[in-house]
Structure 1
Amino acid sequence: MTETTPTRRDFVAGSLAAGALLASDRAKAQPADLTELTIGDAANLIQSAAISPTELVTAYLDRIERLDPRINSYITVTAELALEQARALEAELAGGRWRGPLHGIPIALKDNMDTADIATTAASELFADRVPDEDAEVYRRLKDAGAILLGKLNLHEFAYGGTSTITHFGPVHNPWSLDHIPGGSSGGSAAAVAARLCPGALGTDTLASIRQPAAFCGVVGLKATHGLASIRGIVPISETLDHVGPLCRSVEDAALMLQAIAGYDPRDPVSIRAELPSYASALNTQTGTLRIGLPRDPYYLRLDPEIERAMATALEVLGGLSAGFRDVTLPATPDFGVILAEAYAYHDEYLDVPANHARYDPATIERIIAAGGFSAAEYIDARRELALARNAVAAVFTDVDLLVTPTTPTLPSRIEAAEGATTPTGAESTVRNTAPFNVYGIPTINVPCGFSSSGLPIGLQISGPRLGEPEVLALAHAYEQATAWHEQRPPLD
């Protein structure tokens, strides 16, 4: 059979009609609880004046006050600022100015993203009183797009782990089962979105930290091409591997948030120049010609049996949405010398002050200090190996268009098990399927694909070539619309 590969031009050209279809297909009715609205649905109602930004913000603030004590997803709630921003954006609407689909939409930020005059703590005692003078670039862009800040979200301390139990502000609880971890390091972001404490949030991802918590909490989490969205003004782990991206309740919402934050930032050393398509317009693109690669080893090996069953069912659905599957082998990825060396370099000035050591969690500082033994030569070699891996993965996409894997090999653990560990081991067993894509620097999304028998979410991961966000979003949206997993809600009410 002759196979054809759609070009990115196919996804972009003539795509305005797709965006119009998305708007026309939305239900116009206003729900009794405004927090049930997706970003896309809320945007439609705000633009038509069926609801106001103030009403939407108030609904979320009320829900945060009522439910977040059980989840602990927020470190700081910026209630007064959110209402002030909402009123200003309402005035703009009354004056005829509409900034776009994020106009009047409340969002929240992982608390490693700088916010001028608002504490940015990285969930550490060391930074508990840290108040930046300047906004992170992604927050500045979200404000320009009309987004409203509900607050700053809890995380694994310094984003250096995968449980979100190691944090100065207390562990984050998974909304689906409060005695389980939400994943990390963007645990607060994923938990808040799942619990409808914000319609969308930003997280960061160095090995897994958007996609793993998205999988554990049953939401969408997108890590775009490395450098597509600026990481300037974000407390770093490793700028070579750090990504920033949205966590939302739908693929469409992730596309809308990505549109706002993507773009070149000359003050970010890893930012890239790239033509930006309309990501929302790619969602209704036909996916029948897309060829899916399955990297069996190690991504499909040693899976929790319930994840294995969920993935088998998901692949049946994806087979009907695409041109079919073929097995592929991905390039080997180097050890994580780059992340260790770069993390240590950031913390070096704080570690030089002995009194600061007690202000880190013991598990965090143990990992950081252990990374201090890398020589300059070892770091240069590690950077070289990483660059070669990024070059090599491009060849995989001559035979396939996208890759599909389970997001995590295991289900989330209980909080007490994660807290009882002497080191933050919750990440290591769960990043096997996510970390390589940070090394490759290519776009990857988590989409809900099922639940365990105990009611814990399961996610699948779709990845594409460098700047292949339109294709990734198209297949993710098609799968989402063909299934009902994204419609499930945690049993909080």
Structure 2
Amino acid sequence: MDVLTDAQYPSLCALADAYAEGRLRPSQVVRAHLDRIERLEPAIGAFQAIYAEDAMRQAEAADRMIDAGNRLGPFHGIPFGLKDICDVEGRVTTGGCQALSTRVSPETGTLVHRLLAAGGILLGKTRTVECALGGWGTNQHMGTPRNPWDKARHRVPGGSSSGTAASTACGMAVCGVGTDTGGSVRLPAAFCGLVGLKVTEGRLPTDGILPLSHTLDTPGPLARSVEDALVMFRVMDGAEGWAIERERRAGSGVFADLRRDVIGLRLGVLDAAERACCSADVRTAYDAALDRLRSGGAELVPFSAAAPYADLAAACGQLIAAEGYFHHGALYDRPDLPMDEHVRARMLAGRDVTAADYMASLRDRLAGRDDHLDRMEGLDAVLTPTVTTTAPPLDSVDEAVSPAHFTRHVNYFGLCALSVPSGLSTDGLPTGLQVIARPHEEAMALRIGAAYERVRGPMPLPAFA
């Protein structure tokens, strides 16, 4: 069996079942992914570093453990990518900065420990926007990964988890770790036709992850299906592999929610003013998704946020810049360092934020969150497009504008959200549906996403497949 030429790429869960039933071995799967990396990586440019020899050693060890009846759970033997802001002891972690190209990680963070302890096989570090500050996925010095959905033009993959999304979308990895401060998991998920989960503020550990905004940073999974994202989320959340396996097999716990429909759910939808911010293709995909959920029994209710999403995005951006400058300003204050000039402009905006402005931003954030949650009262979730347009060509990106119009307020208010592919535009590019839920209601977002995924049907493969 050629594990990478099926009608669909093998999902995390399909591989887990194949391992459990003895139809595939991790060494076969990892070897196949490394072969695909060798073929596609020169064109895609998703990886900052590739750990081929170590990955094969880990895969062969996984073979032996599974042969001996010691399978750890559904993540055992799964090849994944890791955003290059996550520390792995003894490995270089650049944070997307050429100026940090020799920075060796002092220790491995909790999140990575959990993934490796669950038997995950780290293929390598994936590229990121410099210091994770940017939504398009561009990087002047370290390289901008190519969106796998277009062979003719270099389109952006979305950021800042650009390499994780690009590698997963074209089958060089089964799934991967991203981080989301204003949309950096969900934006690349939407642009690259993937599922991306932004978890509740504080839900997952962030030690061992280079900070951008310590208030807003949240790590999260990028995967090809809602169930795959859930498995990875459970591992990242600290659940034992055997418990995840038992729940998944029995359809119990949070996995029970994936099998539920949307009958009786009340879902908030965009008002007319916010709809006007979207391109025609995005509106068409959004309306088609709403129709499917309405036909499935959901009640759709017009919803207006606590303020226009553009204003909330700007408020979030100010907080990101202030905290980002606190963490990284010393790099950007030095004109002699090879920093991305687009990121430098965004980062140095934080230098002008006074202490009074910063404290007012934190105060306004809490007051706005209370108002927003009051507006969500009686709703099970709110639905928006993830992005206002499909992925633009690299040479047409306006770096002064962020694509995070609909995503930043989720971080600003500490909510959770899921981006799930909602089909293709007229020119064959993915669109995304964002399901926004209250804090700690990831199960509801995943439930709605899975129900929509079933009625949407399978997504085609990208051009680079």
Instruction: Please report the TM-score for the alignment, with normalisation by the length of structure 2.
Output: 0.91
Instruction: Give the residue type in structure 2 aligned to 1:450.
Output: G
> Given that residues 409 and 432 in structure 1 are in contact (C-alpha distance below 8 angstroms), is that contact kept between their aligned partners in structure 2?
yes
1:279 aligns with 2:257: no
* Structure 2 CA distance for aligned equivalents of residues 298 and 84 of structure 1: 55
Instruction: Give the residue type in structure 2 aligned to 1:121.
Output: T
**Alignment deviations for residues 309-346 of structure 1 (CA, whole Å, 9 cap, x no partner):** 11111111011224311112222337133211110000
Q: CA deviation at 1:456?
A: 1.0
Q: CA deviation at 1:190?
A: 1.1
Residues 1:78 and 1:281: Cα distance change in structure 2 (over 3 Å): farther
**Alignment deviations for residues 417-452 of structure 1 (CA, whole Å, 9 cap, x no partner):** 23xx6xx33x51x21111111111111111111212
Query: What's the counterpart of residue 117 of structure 2?
Result: 144
> Given that residues 110 and 188 in structure 1 are in contact (C-alpha distance below 8 angstroms), is that contact kept between their aligned partners in structure 2?
yes
> Given that residues 294 and 405 in structure 1 are in contact (C-alpha distance below 8 angstroms), is that contact kept between their aligned partners in structure 2?
yes
Residues 1:351 and 1:194: Cα distance change in structure 2 (over 3 Å): closer
1:366 aligns with 2:345: yes
Instruction: Give the residue type in structure 1 aligned to 2:365.
Output: L
* Structure 1 CA distance for aligned equivalents of residues 347 and 267 of structure 2: 38
1:160 aligns with 2:133: yes
1:476 aligns with 2:449: yes
Partner residue of 1:345 out of 308, 326, 331: 326
Q: CA deviation at 1:413?
A: 1.4
> Given that residues 262 and 293 in structure 2 are in contact (C-alpha distance below 8 angstroms), is that contact kept between their aligned partners in structure 1?
no
Query: What's the counterpart of residue 306 of structure 1?
Result: 281
Q: Mapping of 1:400-479 within 5 angstroms? A: 400-418=379-397, 424-425=399-400, 428=402, 430-479=403-452
* Structure 1 CA distance for aligned equivalents of residues 137 and 286 of structure 2: 26
Instruction: Give the residue type in structure 2 aligned to 1:343.
Output: G
* Structure 1 CA distance for aligned equivalents of residues 4 and 44 of structure 2: 23
Instruction: Give the residue type in structure 2 aligned to 1:483.
Output: R
Instruction: Give the residue type in structure 1 aligned to 2:222.
Output: L
Q: CA deviation at 1:125?
A: 0.7
* Structure 1 CA distance for aligned equivalents of residues 301 and 425 of structure 2: 27
* Structure 1 CA distance for aligned equivalents of residues 4 and 234 of structure 2: 29
**Alignment deviations for residues 232-264 of structure 1 (CA, whole Å, 9 cap, x no partner):** 111111011111101111000000000011259
* Structure 1 CA distance for aligned equivalents of residues 119 and 456 of structure 2: 31
> Given that residues 4 and 32 in structure 2 are in contact (C-alpha distance below 8 angstroms), is that contact kept between their aligned partners in structure 1?
no
Secondary structure at the residue paired with 2:337? helix
> Given that residues 403 and 462 in structure 1 are in contact (C-alpha distance below 8 angstroms), is that contact kept between their aligned partners in structure 2?
yes
Query: What's the counterpart of residue 249 of structure 1?
Result: 224
Query: What's the counterpart of residue 242 of structure 2?
Result: none
Instruction: Give the residue type in structure 2 aligned to 1:341.
Output: A
Query: What's the counterpart of residue 247 of structure 2?
Result: none
Partner residue of 1:487 out of 441, 459, 463: 459
Query: What's the counterpart of residue 289 of structure 1?
Result: 264
Residues 1:351 and 1:211: Cα distance change in structure 2 (over 3 Å): closer
1:90 aligns with 2:63: yes
* Structure 1 CA distance for aligned equivalents of residues 297 and 437 of structure 2: 14
Query: What's the counterpart of residue 179 of structure 2?
Result: 204
Instruction: Give the residue type in structure 2 aligned to 1:345.
Output: F
> Given that residues 123 and 167 in structure 1 are in contact (C-alpha distance below 8 angstroms), is that contact kept between their aligned partners in structure 2?
no
1:184 aligns with 2:159: yes
Instruction: Give the residue type in structure 1 aligned to 2:321.
Output: L
Aligned residues: 444
Secondary structure at the residue paired with 1:292? strand
> Given that residues 27 and 59 in structure 2 are in contact (C-alpha distance below 8 angstroms), is that contact kept between their aligned partners in structure 1?
yes
Partner residue of 1:395 out of 374, 377, 384: 374
* Structure 1 CA distance for aligned equivalents of residues 238 and 294 of structure 2: 33
Alignment RMSD: 2.0
Query: What's the counterpart of residue 16 of structure 1?
Result: none
> Given that residues 256 and 280 in structure 1 are in contact (C-alpha distance below 8 angstroms), is that contact kept between their aligned partners in structure 2?
no
> Given that residues 4 and 171 in structure 2 are in contact (C-alpha distance below 8 angstroms), is that contact kept between their aligned partners in structure 1?
no
Residues 1:148 and 1:33: Cα distance change in structure 2 (over 3 Å): same
**Alignment deviations for residues 185-209 of structure 1 (CA, whole Å, 9 cap, x no partner):** 1111111111011010111111111
Query: What's the counterpart of residue 26 of structure 1?
Result: none
Runs (5+) with no aligned partner, structure 2? 240-251
Residues 1:302 and 1:234: Cα distance change in structure 2 (over 3 Å): same
1:216 aligns with 2:216: no
> Given that residues 382 and 437 in structure 2 are in contact (C-alpha distance below 8 angstroms), is that contact kept between their aligned partners in structure 1?
yes
Instruction: Please report the TM-score for the alignment, with normalisation by the length of structure 1.
Output: 0.86
> Given that residues 142 and 260 in structure 1 are in contact (C-alpha distance below 8 angstroms), is that contact kept between their aligned partners in structure 2?
yes
Secondary structure at the residue paired with 1:101? coil
* Structure 2 CA distance for aligned equivalents of residues 66 and 323 of structure 1: 44
Q: CA deviation at 1:490?
A: 0.9
> Given that residues 103 and 145 in structure 1 are in contact (C-alpha distance below 8 angstroms), is that contact kept between their aligned partners in structure 2?
yes
1:37 aligns with 2:10: yes
Identity of aligned residues (%): 33
* Structure 2 CA distance for aligned equivalents of residues 164 and 97 of structure 1: 40
Q: CA deviation at 1:400?
A: 0.7
1:132 aligns with 2:105: yes
Q: CA deviation at 1:32?
A: 6.5
1:76 aligns with 2:62: no
Q: CA deviation at 1:301?
A: 2.2
* Structure 2 CA distance for aligned equivalents of residues 280 and 202 of structure 1: 21
Q: CA deviation at 1:285?
A: 2.1
**Alignment deviations for residues 65-96 of structure 1 (CA, whole Å, 9 cap, x no partner):** 00111110111111111111112222222232
Q: CA deviation at 1:404?
A: 0.6
1:104 aligns with 2:85: no
Secondary structure at the residue paired with 2:257? helix
